[in-house]
Amino acid sequence: MSFYQHHVFFCCNQRTDGRSSCNDQGSQTLRDYAKAKIKSLGLAGAGRIRINQSGCLDRCNEGPVMVVYPEEVWYTFIDEQDIDDIIDQHLVAGKIVERLKI
């Protein structure tokens, strides 16, 4: 059994070679927002939900991206509303947010 019910990784990679990266598209800011929201809802911690950042997940052309484990569902997102939908629908209600899935 997994240590967390859901483990969410936000790609926060910042490339320096001129190619686009997830962090260019606000990934770190939205990861911070998600982490704070999960904590404020009392959903953080062992057996619950963990929000982490990662290095490059090699899907920058679809970014910014995150992946939710153990389901292995990949999402793209643009703003706080998208993050709220992923939290409310997927992480809390267990329903994949099809409009954001990649």
**Residue 1 predicted with pLDDT over 80:** no
Tell me, what's the pLDDT at 41?
Answer: 97
**Residue 86 predicted with pLDDT over 90:** yes
For the record, the structure tokens of 31 come out as 């990861």
Strand partners, 44: 49
The mean per-residue pLDDT over the stretch 47-72 comes to 94
Task: Return the CA Rg of the chain.
Answer: 13
The mean per-residue pLDDT over the stretch 34-60 comes to 95
> What is the percent of the chain where pLDDT is above 70?
99
Q: What φ, ψ does residue 5 adopt, rounded to 5°?
A: -65, -45
Question: How open is the CA angle 52-57-60, to the nearest 5 degrees?
Answer: 115
Domains of the chain as residue ranges with CATH = 16-100 (3.40.30.10)
Count the neighbouring beta carbons within 10 Å of the beta carbon of residue 53.
18
**Residue 61 predicted with pLDDT over 90:** no
Considering the entire predicted model, what is its pTM? 0.94
